[in-house]
Structure 1
Amino acid sequence: MPRLHAADVGCWVVKTARPPDAVVPGWRPGEEREVARCLRPSYRLGLMRPGQPVLLWLSGRDRPGVHATGVLAGEVGSDGDGPVVVVRFTLLPAHVPRADLLADPAVRDAEVLRMPAGSNPSSLTPPQYAAVLAHLP
C-alpha cells in the first residue's frame, strides 16, 4: 500500500466494533460527545492534526457503516498502552450503511471498504469524503 501524504487525506476514519450506544452510554442522535479512540502506531499518526474531519465507522455484521461525524479535538497522545486521540463526534440520526457506500462508484474503493478489519486510523481521500458526505442523512 502506498504511503499517505497530508494532501491524500480528506478525513480520518476510526473504527469500532461496539455500537455507538456502547461507546458512549446514553448518546443520542445530534448530540456531540468527546470520545477517546485507540490508534495503531504508524507514520499516519504524524499526519493527524486538530480540527481535521473524522468519521466513526462501526465494523461487523450489525449496522456496519458511518455512525458519527466529527473533528480531531487535539493532538495524538498516549494512554500508557499506546496512541490515543480525542475526537469530538456528533451521532448521526441514521447511519450511512456500508452497502450504500459500496454501491457508490466514488467511494467503493475506499480503504475502510476494501479492508474493514484494518487498523485505526484509516482515511478517505478528499473525493471519497465528499461522496460520503453526500450520503449523510
Structure 2
Amino acid sequence: MCQARGVAARALSAESLGAWLLKARGDEPETQAHVRSAFAHVETRCVRPSYRTDLVVAGQPALLWVSGKAPGLPSGIYAHGRTTGVAEGGVIPVELAPLTPPLLRSELLGHPVLGGMEVLRMPAGSNPSYVTREQLVELSQLCPDLDA
C-alpha cells in the first residue's frame, strides 16, 4: 500500500511497543546524580513531543538509556520501571529503579535481536525511543529484573 505524499511511516504503535526507552546524557551532572542516588528522586523525564508521546499511558514499561562517554558511565540501560501517567508538554511521568549491573551498549551490539534496537541503529534519534516486545523479552533474558 502506498503512503500519502509527505506522511512518514510510523515506526511504533501501541501493539508493537515493548517498553519506552528514555534517554539521558551521561555527561550531565543531573544524570550522574540520578545514577548515584539509584534514581530515588526521578519522577519525570523530558522528551520531545511527537506521535510517540501520544501513545504513553500509565503502567507501560520504561527503561532509561544513558548515552555518551562520560568517565565511569558507559552507554547503556541503567534503570527500569513504569510510566505513571500520560505524557504532557514534553514530560513523561515515571518511576525508576536501577539495573544492577546496567546493560551496557557493548553487550547489546552483537546480539542478534538487541543489536537492532532503535537506540543502537540511530543513537541521535528520537527521545523517547522504544524497544519492541521481542527486544524486551530478550532484554529480560539478560536481566531478570526486567521481567518482560
- Report TM bin, short chain: 0.7 to 0.9
Distance 1:96-1:69 versus aligned 2 partners, 3 A rule = same
2:80 counterpart (58, 66, 69): 69
Query: Which consecutive aligned stretches of 4+ in structure 1 deviate over 6 angstroms post-superposition?
Result: none
Equivalent residue number for residue 11 of structure 1: 19
Q: How much is the aligned-residue C-alpha RMSD, in angstroms? A: 2.1
Does residue 133 in structure 1 map to residue 145 in structure 2? no
Unaligned runs of 5+ in 2: 1-7
Name the aligned partner's letter for residue 70 of structure 1: G
Equivalent residue number for residue 40 of structure 1: 48
Distance 1:32-1:132 versus aligned 2 partners, 3 A rule = farther
Q: How does 1:23-38 map to 2 (within 5 A)?
A: 23-24=33-34, 26-28=36-38, 33-38=41-46
SS of the residue 2:32 aligns to? helix
Does residue 22 in structure 1 map to residue 32 in structure 2? yes
The alignment's TM-score, normalised by the length of structure 2, stands at: 0.79
Distance 1:87-1:103 versus aligned 2 partners, 3 A rule = same
Alignment deviations for residues 8-55 of structure 1 (CA, whole Å, 9 cap, x no partner)? 100000000036762527513xx6553311111111111111100010
Between the two proteins, the alignment pairs up a number of residues equal to 131
Does residue 113 in structure 1 map to residue 123 in structure 2? no
- Considering Cα pairs closer than 8 Å and 6+ residues apart, tell me whether 1 or 2 has the greater RCO: 1
Name the aligned partner's letter for residue 24 of structure 1: H
The alignment's TM-score, normalised by the length of structure 1, stands at: 0.85
Q: Which structure's CA Rg is the greater one?
A: 2
